[in-house]
Structure 1
């Protein structure tokens, strides 16, 4: 295997990080921010639940499938080339979204945007994993997590404010402008490419055999159900149950997303400075916060004062933010360098696959539960899309759906704990075997030394 790399100069490194991080910022911003625009889109283009939900789900599904494709392609054609292709497609898709005349065109544009986002995200992670020395790489992945947190934190707020000021179309223009800025700085990105290894597969899921890689991969999958569903559809609940507009809903969501802004760096710092705090320790704290936060949301009702939402929303923010700075780095560090793109693709396939299933399933279940209470299908569509005026119906459906989410988060947490236990047992067995081998080697050396002494006599 040959690796072709042009490492960035010291002066180019900050520009390189800025280029990558701007593009990474745009990905969670599109996932989190687009949900806030759904009521406005429904008011202009129609509330048909299928096409309307695909404004979000189309992006997620395309992102999920194409992380695998772009991960492998990036290993072949180079991560910089993949990044540039993704940026160009993303800009075009954002402009098409902004000028879409109907939901069908908008859905098509969001699918294209998801394909492009997969190229940007997988190539950015692979570039960071290959272009920096281990010490600097950990800090770069920490910044990656922080920027993801910023995108999640401010995506709903910015989208809500832009929707209030410019309409929902202005939100998609803003996405295109952000990626265009990243593309303008792409000259600083080094060219990194790995030659194909004999016997390698197009889609290689063998990296999932590593218990630590799989455990780290399952963390964002569980987060998809416990956090991303709320990130995507709780703004709709705020409209349906409490009658908030897009701007106000975005500000309330800041309670949940603000912790994601600064906690990724804290998680990385805790692991680096305290020997007894491992990545799994932080993961367990996050998963516990997610369970408690989702349990609190079971009590959502029209009579509940908005102030009571602070505790569960903060807990959900903690559950997403703490692991965000090290999950990708921990997972990528568990695989060989020449599989960086493939591993990034698998990781993000699992992450976005979880989000696609979680978000799509959540919307379908909630819409079904609303329709079961409302005889008029047209009214049911409007209630499920967040139209105020039927708070009790929406709240009942929300609570039932939340029970399902809580059960899934619990099962996912158990699976991660079992994988961690398997890894610990394997490491203990390996350590014990190494100690036995060292003892045998030491005894053999002692016997040889003793024999040599006797010969000298």
Structure 2
């Protein structure tokens, strides 16, 4: 190949990487920016049931649920119909949905559009990451995915700040318009330079698996969101959770019986594959959930302005700008699993320290004590962040990159949705317990549950309306105690994940995918690496 052709090919790959990174910038902006905008949206639609805790929770969960539940299907479609085509359709749909969100006339319309935005995001991420896996090999692929992780971290880092500035100057609708700008740039400058690639052995979409998986996640998320307000013994809640369990079993049965499943469950027999899936689960609980619950507390309960909360959140997310690249350099001397496990252990210590710092409330000297723990959490979570995507494509042959990224990204994004729903429900339950202990007016359980649910979504005013006998300071103290207990639990969970990652991935040095063209060869690769 001539030097001129080499330069042209290099420029083309850079343009593709830039397009996928622009998409990776828009997705976290939609996530973290939406979380900061939730209190303002709640104030804008504060009539009737529009501003209920469940309705406000769907601002984030509708996006995450659609995003996570359809990633595997999007990966399959990318393999069959082309990574470039699926990426283009996804980023185009994301841009249109973002524009529509900026004009949403009601909270119901906004929630539905957030679901549509999540569907488009699934196509964009699955198609884009699979395209990168086809364009880059070896260490170049590792660097490309590390840059992708850093870009994703950039969106997470500055999402709260950008959202705060936009809300302060232009209102919450401008938050969604920003995502449309990033999507339009990726569509205009990156897609024309992509070349089409697909899996020649790909088959049709696993409709039965897709429908049962999506329905199972939807029922579970809906049930957990409704539980704080209705009670865990409510017929609707128990019915939804029971349906989720039945649908989950049906999904497993379907995937074990078809010739080419959407999710190859046999991969979970291998410790290395399980270890890779633990990484996004751990970062969900130690990092992602804080991007939602902390702004809700700071803005809704503690009374911070959106812009001030955004600047404070920078302590948590700023390490994502540099640490993933530093972690990639560390893999020259340490196994990626060791680097990841150490990072999760650091995040666990930071979570515990943050729980102690916030125990007395978020005002005054306590807020100064939160900076160090938040930096530790962000740095610890960032260490596996840039390594996870590269590890995820190492367990299948290059031709099945769509499946690999689909499985991993589904674990990451579906895990985020599940983690958010569970953490919000646990926080509401802990708050209700604390409110019951300090409530001397003996309010009924329904009022306590409603007040706790309102506090968990950052609505102090409505919580006070449900418990008029309690001063706002008592509500804040009960919420602060519950928040600290929650952080201690998250610290313990993160530490367990760190130890498991070290056990499963600690001895793995090589994490570049080996090419192969047959499922039989893929199974051989996985079997060999599982014994490593």
Structure-1-length-normalised TM-score: 0.86
* 8 A contact 1:31–1:56 mirrored in 2: yes
Alignment partner, residue 314 of structure 1: 375
* 8 A contact 1:210–1:334 mirrored in 2: no
* 8 A contact 1:218–1:412 mirrored in 2: yes
Mark the runs of 5 or more structure 1 residues left unpaired by the alignment.
1-6, 435-457
| Cα offset, 1:241, TM superposition | 4.9
Q: Which of 269, 282, 297 is the equivalent residue of 2:339?
A: 282
Q: Which structure's CA Rg is the greater one?
A: 1
Q: Which of 158, 164, 172 is the equivalent residue of 2:162?
A: 158
1:288/1:421 Cα in 2 relative to 1: closer, same or farther (>3 Å)? Answer: closer
Alignment partner, residue 43 of structure 2: 43
Q: Which of 394, 399, 407 is the equivalent residue of 1:338?
A: 399
In 2: Cα distance, 1:411 partner to 1:396 partner:
23
Q: Which of 114, 125, 132 is the equivalent residue of 1:128?
A: 132
* 8 A contact 1:48–1:381 mirrored in 2: no
In 1: Cα distance, 2:135 partner to 2:493 partner:
37
In 2: Cα distance, 1:369 partner to 1:48 partner:
19
* Structural mapping, 1:45-444, within 5 Å: 45-46=45-46, 47-185=51-189, 186-196=191-201, 199-272=259-332, 274=333, 277-299=334-356, 300=358, 301-302=360-361, 305-372=366-433, 373=435, 375=443, 376=447, 379-387=451-459, 389=472, 390-420=475-505
| Cα offset, 1:333, TM superposition | 2.0
| Cα offset, 1:33, TM superposition | 1.6
| Cα offset, 1:378, TM superposition | 5.8
1:205/1:85 Cα in 2 relative to 1: closer, same or farther (>3 Å)? Answer: farther
Which structure is higher in RCO with an 8 Å CA cutoff and minimum separation 6?
A: 1
Deviates more, 1:215-224 or 1:387-396: 387-396
Q: Secondary structure at the match of 1:386?
A: coil
* 8 A contact 2:345–2:495 mirrored in 1: no
In the TM superposition, what whole-angstrom CA distance separates every residue of 1:79-100 from its partner, at most 9, and x where no partner exists? 0011011112212211222111
In 2: Cα distance, 1:234 partner to 1:263 partner:
22
In 2: Cα distance, 1:420 partner to 1:266 partner:
19
| Cα offset, 1:114, TM superposition | 1.0
In 2: Cα distance, 1:108 partner to 1:30 partner:
15
| Cα offset, 1:22, TM superposition | 0.2
In the TM superposition, what whole-angstrom CA distance separates every residue of 1:215-258 from its partner, at most 9, and x where no partner exists? 12211111101111111111112224532111100000001111
1:293/1:71 Cα in 2 relative to 1: closer, same or farther (>3 Å)? Answer: same
Please provide the CA RMSD for this pair: 2.5
In 1: Cα distance, 2:390 partner to 2:289 partner:
24
In 2: Cα distance, 1:308 partner to 1:95 partner:
40
1:195/1:8 Cα in 2 relative to 1: closer, same or farther (>3 Å)? Answer: farther
Q: Secondary structure at the match of 1:194?
A: coil
Deviates more, 1:106-115 or 1:241-250: 241-250
In the TM superposition, what whole-angstrom CA distance separates every residue of 1:347-368 from its partner, at most 9, and x where no partner exists? 0111112111111111122223
In 2: Cα distance, 1:118 partner to 1:207 partner:
22
| Cα offset, 1:323, TM superposition | 1.6
| Cα offset, 1:142, TM superposition | 1.5
In 2: Cα distance, 1:138 partner to 1:348 partner:
17
* 8 A contact 2:301–2:455 mirrored in 1: no
Q: Secondary structure at the match of 2:458?
A: coil
| Cα offset, 1:197, TM superposition | 5.3
1:430/1:170 Cα in 2 relative to 1: closer, same or farther (>3 Å)? Answer: closer
Alignment partner, residue 3 of structure 1: none
| Cα offset, 1:380, TM superposition | 4.3
Alignment partner, residue 464 of structure 2: none
Deviates more, 1:66-75 or 1:292-301: 292-301
| Cα offset, 1:384, TM superposition | 2.8
